[in-house]
Amino acid sequence: MTERARRAARWERWSEWPLLVLAVAFLVAYAVPVLDVGISPSLRRTCDVVQWVAWAAFAVDYVVRLVLAEHRARWAATHALDLVVIALPLLRPLRLLRLVALLNVVNRHATIGLRGRVVAYLVGGAVLLSFLAALAVLDAERHGAEPNIQTFGDAWWWSITTMTTVGYGDRFPTTGDGRLIGVGLMIGGITLLGSVTATLASWLSDRVRAEADADVDALTQEIRALRLEIAALNERSGGEPDQASHGVR
């Protein structure tokens, strides 16, 4: 491992938990004004400051990882989503999608040890994705001309039915931002469920392979033990070792 790779690994280890804490703070700061439109101006400003501080930390993390990458062009190409979610706040019509950054940071942390926690990842990821989408669509739809989604309960119901591809149609976004969030939720929900299903299939395959290998090892040990017993019996009887026993290795 090169010195740059070691420094990148150290940065990943050092920044992992601080970024996760900032991501949670970002979520709370975004959720409070959405869920309670009557909060005081000072609290609203505080929430805005927390959001932008967290966002600045995400941007610094991206720049540091880019600088420490072995092949920067290749790294940037494989981490295009990171750049997109950093740039989105600069695009005013798409500012609601800044919540993608939280999913990105949490996903980086959650993928560690994923194979042993498939169920936890499925439940946690689905709840987080549906909650974020509900917040974003409520924020977008609340001030629409003819809003069909007016409460957080309506928003979360729409989020769950959309993510699971049920789509009852009783709740739906009517604004451009809300529909854009819906498209992102459809893609994200399918991707999440598909990745978890693939991980579960891989885990089951490895378990079956491990059990098969264990059975083969046990059978090999039994054959070796039988071979030794046959050889011992032949020695006691003064005869030659059974030729058939030499064929088992």
What are the pLDDT digits (tens) for 93-149?
A: 444 555 566 666 656 655 555 455 556 666 777 788 888 889 989 988 988 888 889
Question: Taking the complete model, does pTM exceed 0.85, yes or no?
Answer: no
209: amino acid identity, one letter: R
Nearest to 95 by CA among 180, 7, 209: 180
84, burial (CB in 10 Å: exposed 0-12, middle 13-18, buried 19+): middle
142 by Cβ neighbours in 10 Å (0-12 / 13-18 / 19+) ranks as: middle
Q: pLDDT band at residue 177, thresholds of 50, 70 and 90?
A: confident
